[in-house]
Structure 1
C-alpha cells in the first residue's frame, strides 16, 4: 500500500514538472522577463564576490611575499635596563628549533650618492649576513655581506637593483665601485635582483643600501640596537616564537611597554578575516537584487493563477485536491527560478572572467558564491511561489469554472 502511494506521488510530481515546463515554454517572453531578475541577481552575486576575492587574494599574496614567517621585534633600551645584540644572538641560538634566522636592523641616516648623482628616498640599514635570505632576495652580481665583514667592520655594502640602475646603469657596472652614504664611503660588494620591474621605483623595495650592522652602529654612535627581525622555521611556530621573545625580553626589561613583538602571520590572519567580511558584504548587497527578483516571480505567478482560473476549476472538478494544485504552482515557480539561476551562473562566470581580465585581476568564479546564489534563487522561487500557489489551491471549483 505504501509503495503504491509513493508511486502515485512520484507520478504527480512528474506531471507537475511537465506542466511547469509546458507553461514556461508556452509563455517564453513572460517567463524570460520573470527569470531576468533572478539571472541578474545570481550573476551580480557571483561577479562581485569573485572579483573581491580575486583582488584580495592578490593583496594577501603580495603581503605574504613580504614574509609570513617573519617576526619584527622592537625594544626601547634604557640606561638602567637594556638588551644588546649579543644577548639576542644567544637567545636565538638557544631556540634554533623555533627560529630559522635572525638579524639586527639599524637605520642609518645620510643621502646616498655617486659623484654628483644622488638618491633622495633610499633606505640605508645595518644588517647581518642573514638579512638577504630573510627578505628572500637573489643576488644579481657580486656577493652578499658575510659574517667576516660584520666581525671586522668592513666598509662594504650591498645595494638594491634600483640603486644600481639609477647610479651605475646596471648591477654588473656597480660591483666594485664606491658609493657614499652621508660622509662615509663604501665599496659595493654585490647587487640584488629587482624583485618586480613593474614596481621598481624611488622609495620602493629595490631602493636600498645595506651595510654590516656593526658599521652602522659605529656611524650612528648608538651601541643599543632596538630593532631585530626573526624568521620561524614554519608559520605554525610564529605564535610560539612571539611568546618566547616576549618572555625573554620581559625577564630583562621588566616592562611590557618597552617591548613590541609583531608576527606577520597575525596580520595576515587579520586581513583574511576582514576580506571574508568584505566579500560577504559584497555578496549581501548583490543579493538584494535576488529579493527584488523574488517579488517579480510572485507577481507573475499571481497573474498566472488569474489567467488559469478555469484550468484550476477543471482540475478540481476531476478530483485534484488542494495539495496537488499547490504543488503544481510551487514547482512552476521553483523551476522558473532554477532555470534563471543556471543562466545567471553561466552569465556570471563569463562576466567574472572578462571583467577580471580587463581589471588585471586573476578572478575565478567563487564556488561558495555559485552554490549560495543558486540555492537562494531556488529558495526564493519556493518562498515567493507559495502565496500564489495557496491562492490557486483555495479557489472554489464552481467559481473557477464560471471564470472566463
Structure 2
C-alpha cells in the first residue's frame, strides 16, 4: 500500500504545482518523444529498404563497372558514363559450366530516350534486357505478353511499357497493344503493359520501357555512342540457392578477373554485389544516422534528468519539516528514501507518457503522408521508452532522496 500512497502523494504534488511540473518534465517529454519517433522511423526505414530490395527480385547478384568508392555509390550510380562490362562478360556469367551456382543471367542496357505516340511525348527510361529479365525481377505482364527468345535473337523492335508511359502517351480509350511508339524516332511495337509498381530509391519503375537487349544495341546504339557507353550497363545474375550466393559471387569475380586480364596486384574494374551486401551497406548508413540522432535525444533526456533532480532538491527543502515530523513519529530512512524516489520516478514517468503519446502521434502523422514509408511504434519501443523514463527518474531522484533520508529529525523540525 505504501507505494500507492507515495504515487498519490506525487500526483498531488504535480497537480498543486502544474507550471513547475510541466517545465520540469519538458526535457523528459522532448527526449522520450524523440526516442519514440527515432525508433519508429528507424523501423519504418528498415522495412522500406527491405521492401525496395525485395521489389528488385529474389536471390539476385548485380555486376557493374567500378565507379566511386562505396557499395551504395556503385549501385546508385550503376549506369555511369563509362563501363568495362561487355556482352561477352554477360554470356560468361550466365554459363553454368563456368558458374555451376548460376540459374540465369541477363546483360542490361539502360538509356534515357524520348518516347512519342502521335502528339504525346515523354522522356522515359529504356531498359534493354533478354527474355529472362522479367522473371528474374519477379515482374508479370498485366496485358499482352513478355519478351521471348525469338524477340532477343531477332532484335525485334517490340516494347513493354510501364503505367506512367501508358497514361502519358495513350488516351484513356486507346488499347496500347500493337500500337507503334517512337523511341528517339525509331518505331517500336507495344506488346505488353506492366502493372503499377511505383518508384523506389533507384528508379521510377512505372516510367520505363523494356525492349530486347539486341534491339537496344541495334536501333538505339547512337544513344550509347553519344554517352560513351560501348558495353552493357550491368549484368543481373540469379543464383540457384541463396545459401550458395557467396560462392557464386566469388566465382563471378574470378571469371571476370580472368576475362579482364587483372592480376592479383591490380584493382578490379568491376564490382559484384549480392542483395545481402547492399542491404548491409544501406543498413549501416541507417544505423549510423539513428545512433547520431539517438545521442541528441539522450542529451535531451540528460537535461530532463537534471531538471528532475533540481526540482526534487527544491521539494526536499520545502518539505524539511514534514521529513522531520515523519522521522519523529517512527519513519525509517528507507521509508523517506523510497518516498522521494517514487515521487521522482512518477514525475519522470508522467513526462515519459506524454512523450510517448507525442512521439507516436508524430510517427502516425509521418505514416499518413506516405503509402510506402510506414513508421511503426511497437510494444517493445513503448516498453523501452517507459523503462528509460523510469531510469531517468530513479537516477535523478537518488541524490535528493538520500539527502532527505539522512536528515537529522531534530534539525529538520527546527527548519523554518
TM-score using structure 2 length: 0.76
2: CA distance, partners of 1:391 / 1:143: 80
Instruction: Name the structure 1 match of 2:136.
Output: 134
Instruction: Name the structure 1 match of 2:106.
Output: 103
Instruction: Name the structure 2 match of 1:66.
Output: 56
2: CA distance, partners of 1:166 / 1:16: 68
Aligned counterpart in structure 1 of residue 387 of structure 2, from 369, 375, 384 = 375
2: CA distance, partners of 1:213 / 1:17: 74
Partner-residue secondary structure (3-state), 2:138: coil
Measured against aligned partners, the alpha-carbon deviations of 1:302-324 in whole angstroms (never above 9, x if no partner) come to: 22222222232233334544444
Instruction: Name the structure 2 match of 1:3.
Output: none
Whether the 8 Å contact between 1:68 and 1:265 is mirrored in structure 2 is no
Structure 2 portions without partners, runs of 5+: 66-82
Instruction: Name the structure 1 match of 2:12.
Output: 25
Instruction: Name the structure 1 match of 2:95.
Output: 90
Q: CA 1:387–1:246 in 2, change beyond 3 Å: closer, same or farther?
A: same
Number of paired residues? 382
**Residue correspondence of structure 1 range 359-370 to structure 2 within 5 A:** 361-370=373-382
Q: CA 1:40–1:118 in 2, change beyond 3 Å: closer, same or farther?
A: closer
Partner-residue secondary structure (3-state), 1:363: coil
Instruction: Name the structure 2 match of 1:396.
Output: 408
Instruction: Name the structure 1 match of 2:149.
Output: 147
Instruction: Name the structure 2 match of 1:210.
Output: 210
State the 1:291 CA deviation. 2.1
State the 1:108 CA deviation. 6.3
2: CA distance, partners of 1:401 / 1:84: 90
2: CA distance, partners of 1:95 / 1:381: 61
1: CA distance, partners of 2:183 / 2:341: 78
Higher gyration radius (CA): 1
Whether the 8 Å contact between 2:108 and 2:234 is mirrored in structure 1 is yes
Whether the 8 Å contact between 2:180 and 2:190 is mirrored in structure 1 is yes
Whether the 8 Å contact between 2:163 and 2:196 is mirrored in structure 1 is yes
2: CA distance, partners of 1:192 / 1:247: 36
1: CA distance, partners of 2:330 / 2:163: 85
Instruction: Report which stretch shifted further, 389-398 or 204-213.
Output: 204-213
Instruction: Name the structure 2 match of 1:286.
Output: 297
State the 1:245 CA deviation. 1.0
Partner-residue secondary structure (3-state), 1:106: strand
Structure 1 portions without partners, runs of 5+: 1-13
Aligned counterpart in structure 1 of residue 363 of structure 2, from 352, 366, 390 = 352
Measured against aligned partners, the alpha-carbon deviations of 1:280-303 in whole angstroms (never above 9, x if no partner) come to: 333332333322222222222222
TM-score using structure 1 length: 0.78
Partner-residue secondary structure (3-state), 2:197: coil
Partner-residue secondary structure (3-state), 2:94: helix
Q: CA RMSD in A?
A: 3.6
Query: Greater share of helix residues, 1 or 2?
Result: 1
2: CA distance, partners of 1:77 / 1:99: 21
Q: CA 1:209–1:309 in 2, change beyond 3 Å: closer, same or farther?
A: closer
